[in-house]
Homo-oligomer: A and B are copies of this chain.
């Protein structure tokens, strides 16, 4: 990893940790972006070069650019022989619980528990990445015989609906994960299970 890349990561990490520190100290409401920046020794303008909002700094969300190469790589990694599993895996891999595997994870979970609105950011993220995700899901659909005969417009609609349920299920799964202090395992499987259950019931 080159110097530039290292420095970038350093700045980002400093901001992520500063965010946790300041929020723990002042509470989310009274934690200002300026304070986080002072803590991390960067300018407020730089903060927004890394995060789209104060919330994102806590959730460690970053709007990485997703070019086609990156997307297809994710799609390839998400392929299983079960469509629902695949879709959920794709969504998770592109924007799943970002805080996973960060330092201060326990602190983050505590913060999220005290400020549930932070989780609604998750839904917002899905919306923001809608186009990318839909494109990815279409790739998954094209590998599924049940959908391959549909028209382009139909596939677009189906992809979008699949994304909607997957996003919803993922949100529930993440919420459970948070409620369990980040200990429950396999968020993806749980999300897929939720989807299957509701579909089954609706078909009775």
Contacts and interface: CB of A to CB of B under 8 A. Distances in A.
Interface of A: 83-84, 120, 123-124, 127-128, 130, 146-147, 157-158, 160-165, 167-169, 171-172, 194-195, 197-199, 201-204
- 6 pairs of A and B residues whose beta carbons are closest in the complex: A164-B168, A123-B127, A161-B198, A164-B164, A161-B168, A165-B165
Binding site secondary structure of chain A: helix
Contact of A169 (B164, B167, B194): B164
24 contacts: A84-B202, A120-B127, A120-B128, A120-B130, A123-B123, A146-B201, A146-B202, A146-B204, A147-B201, A157-B194, A158-B197, A158-B198, A160-B171, A161-B169, A161-B172, A161-B194, A162-B198, A163-B168, A164-B165, A164-B167, A165-B168, A199-B199, A199-B202, A199-B203
A161 B160 CA distance: 14
Chain copies in the assembled complex: 2
Given A120-B130, A161-B168, A164-B164, A203 B201 contact: no
